[in-house]
Amino acid sequence: MIALLIANSLALASLLIMLSSGLALIYGLRDVINFGHGAIYMLGAYLGYTIALVGGFWLALLLVPLLLALLGIAFEYLALRPLQRRSHIEVALVTLGLGIILGQVIIYIYGGEARSVDAPKILSGSVTVLHLSYPVYRLFLIVMGLGSCALLALWLRYTSSGLYVRAVSQDPSVARMMGINADRLSLLVTSLSTAFAGIAGVLAGPYLSVDPGMDVVMIVNCLIIVVIGGTGSIGGAIIAALLFGFVQVAGSVFLPNLAALVPYILLMVVLLIAPGGIGRGRVMS
């Protein structure tokens, strides 16, 4: 029972980690929360659905992140850079508007009904681990989530670009004085963040449903996680995503009547105890 609970929450947390660490990365560099992140995830899911119909799930998992990385580059050049001198709130509102546009265009193309994506043969069915039968696809999700988490940590810790990202997140002006090109880093980070959102979208297909409301649900979850984690802290976001996944899964088991509210209760409790979130975010007062 406990093992199942933890496995399920890890599966959900995997998706959330991919999305919220992308949000936290952009925030660290640009001080901007991308309110359109949910719509990008939704685009990933719908593109994944279409490509999976034509060329199969694996092709979708390969192609969608590449396509969305291109979208991230466009986002960086067409939105973030021209608006660099505007206030962060205004840029955040622009991303909100862009997200609404993207979401509405997707709904216009695909229509309002929910779509489902089948997992590939190897990943459908279930395996028995320690006398417990568990769906293979969720294990795959956990592996992907923890894997991307580990890759992200390795990149941030052991590469020079990772070092630069950490430096800019900690103190943008000093980092710039030391000769770090924040624009080039931001291009890398933005495309990485949208690519991760694409992977999350494709992975969500067989696990959750692909439907017109998925962008709002996901962006709200991610915002809660980013706030709980301490805005801009990637480690905090990862821990918060794990906590969020666990609380939501446990809530739906133990408090089915209140399950929809449990994440918000978690948010309020964290805000009461630690208004700055659990991570070492640098911005909350």
Partner 1 sequence: MTDDLRASTTATFGSLSQRSLAIAVGLIGLCAGAIVPTYLASDFVLRLGSEGLLLGLLALSVAFLMNQAGLVALGAASIYGGAGYLFAIGMSDWGLSPTAALCVAFLILLVYAAMLGALIVRTNPLAFMMLTLAAGEMISHAVLLEGLRDYTGGADGLVVRVNGSVLGIDALRFADPVQFWCIAWIVTVLIGLAFWAIGRSRLGVVLRAIRGNEERMRFSGFNTFLPRLIGYVLVNVAAAIAGFLHVLNAGFVSPESLGLFVSTNTLVAALIGGISGSLGPILGGLIFSFAQDEFGARGLTQLLTGVAIVLFIVVFPRGVVGGLSSLSKRLGWRREGA
Which residues contact partner 1 (rule: CB under 8 A)?
31, 33, 83, 86, 88-90, 92-94, 96-105, 108, 216, 220, 223-224, 226-227, 231, 257-258, 260-261, 264, 267-268, 271-272, 275, 283-285
Q: Smallest distance from the beta carbon of 195 to partner 1, in angstroms? A: 23
Q: Note the helical H segments in the chain.
A: 2-30, 37-55, 57-75, 88-110, 136-158, 160-170, 172-177, 182-207, 214-229, 234-254, 262-273
Q: For partner 1, give the closer residue by CB, 120 or 282.
A: 282
Q: Smallest distance from the beta carbon of 257 to partner 1, in angstroms? A: 5
Here the contacts of 49-55 (C-beta below 8 Å, separation 24 or greater) are 49/115, 49/117, 49/205, 49/210, 52/117, 52/118, 52/202, 52/205
Q: For partner 1, give the closer residue by CB, 6 or 208.
A: 208
Q: Smallest distance from the beta carbon of 89 to partner 1, in angstroms? A: 6
Q: For partner 1, give the closer residue by CB, 54 or 273.
A: 273
Residues of 162-179 as b/e, b for ≥16 C-beta within 10 angstroms? bebbebbbeebeebeeee
Q: Smallest distance from the beta carbon of 61 to partner 1, in angstroms? A: 29
Helix (H, G, I), strand (E, B) or coil at 135: strand
CB contact at 8 A, 205 and 110: no
Q: Smallest distance from the beta carbon of 184 to partner 1, in angstroms? A: 24
Helices 88-110 and 214-229, axial angle in degrees (round to 10) = 150
Q: For partner 1, give the closer residue by CB, 66 or 89.
A: 89
Q: For partner 1, give the closer residue by CB, 10 or 270.
A: 270
CA 54 – CA 43 distance, rounded (Å): 17
CA 30 – CA 183 distance, rounded (Å): 9
Q: For partner 1, give the closer residue by CB, 195 or 227.
A: 227
Strand-pairing partners, residue 210, are: 115
Q: Smallest distance from the beta carbon of 118 to partner 1, in angstroms? A: 29
Q: For partner 1, give the closer residue by CB, 86 or 280.
A: 86
Strand-pairing partners, residue 113, are: none
Q: Smallest distance from the beta carbon of 190 to partner 1, in angstroms? A: 17
